[in-house]
Amino acid sequence: MYKKIQDTAAWLKARMNSTPETAIILGTGLGHLANEIQVDTAIPYSEIPDFPVSTVEGHQGQLIFGKLGGKEIIAMDGRFHYYEGYTMAQVTFPIRVMSLLGIKTLFVSNAAGGTNPSFRVGDMMIITDHINFMPENPLHGPNIPMGPRFPDMSEAYDSELIDLANTIAAELKIKVRHGVYLGTQGPTYETPAEYRMFAHWGADAVGMSTVPEVIVARHCGIRCFGISIITDLGVHGKIVKVTHEEVQQAARAAQPRMAAIMREMIARS
C-alpha cells in the first residue's frame, strides 16, 4: 500500500504547478464550493493511478488544484465511502497521498442528520469531536510508516481552527452550531431508535463519512477542521422520510454560508 501511495503522489507531483499546504474535501451537495476556486488544474479521479472513483450522485469525482482565499489548495470534489464497497484503505488513500504532497491542514464538509433537538434543517455544525461507529478503523492492519502505531486523538479537530471559525462566523454574522459527529457505515438512513441511541451516546449529528478521513489525517500529522450541514432531523417528533435528493438540496442551500467561512479561514490560516 505504501508503495502505491508514493507512486500516486509522484504521478501527481509531476503534474502540479503549485505547492499547496491546504486540502478540502467537499461532501454531499457541497460540490458547488468548487465554483469558488480559481482552478489551475482539474484531474478526474479515473485518470489518477490507484484512485477510487466516486459512485454517489452529487460527487463530481475530480481532484482540483487552484486557489481559494488567495491560498494554493487541493480540493477533492467528491469523496469515497465505505458503503460503496471500498475498503477503508481505499476510502482514505487520497488523504495519505495528499500528505506526501505536503498538505498540513485538512478541511472536511459533510451532510448529516441532526440528533440535537435544538438543531434545524440548514444549520451548520462545527465539528468539535467525533464517535467512530463504523465497522473498521482505517488504521487497522500493519502500520503504514506515515505516523505512529497508536496516534493520539485527544484533539481530532484542531482547537485553533475552531476558534478561528467562530471568530469569522461572528464577523460575518453567520450562525453556527457546535457538536459531536458520529460516523456510521450506511447507506441506510437511521431508524428512530438508532437516532435516539446515538443522541444518548452524545452525538449531535450522524453521517456516513468524515471519521475515517480525519483519523488517517491525524495519523499523518495533518490538522483537521470539519463542518456538517444539518440536512434532516433525527429528533423525536420531527423525523420524516428523507431522500438523497432532499439531502442534496438542503446542503446546496447552506453552501454559500459554509463557503464564506471556509474561504476566509483559508485566507487567514
As given in the structure block, the three cell numbers for residue 235 are 429528533
pLDDT level of residue 236 (50, 70, 90 thresholds): confident
103-112, 147-156, 251-260: least confidently modelled range: 251-260
Q: How far is CA 67 from CA 21, 23, 34, in A?
A: 11, 11, 10
> pLDDT value at position 59?
46
This prediction has a pTM of: 0.93
Per residue in 118-151, pLDDT (tens digit) is: 998 889 999 999 999 999 999 999 999 999 999 9
Our CA angle for 102, 212, 209, nearest 5°, is 110
Contacts of 129 (CB under 8 A, 6+ apart): 156, 157, 180, 181
Query: What pLDDT, in 10s, does the model give residues 59-114?
Result: 468 999 999 988 999 999 888 899 989 999 999 999 999 999 999 999 999 989 99
- Residue 248 pLDDT class (50, 70, 90 cuts): confident
Domains and CATH numbers, the chain: 2-268 (3.40.50.1580)
Query: In whole angstroms, what is the distance from residue 42 CA to residue 39 CA?
Result: 7
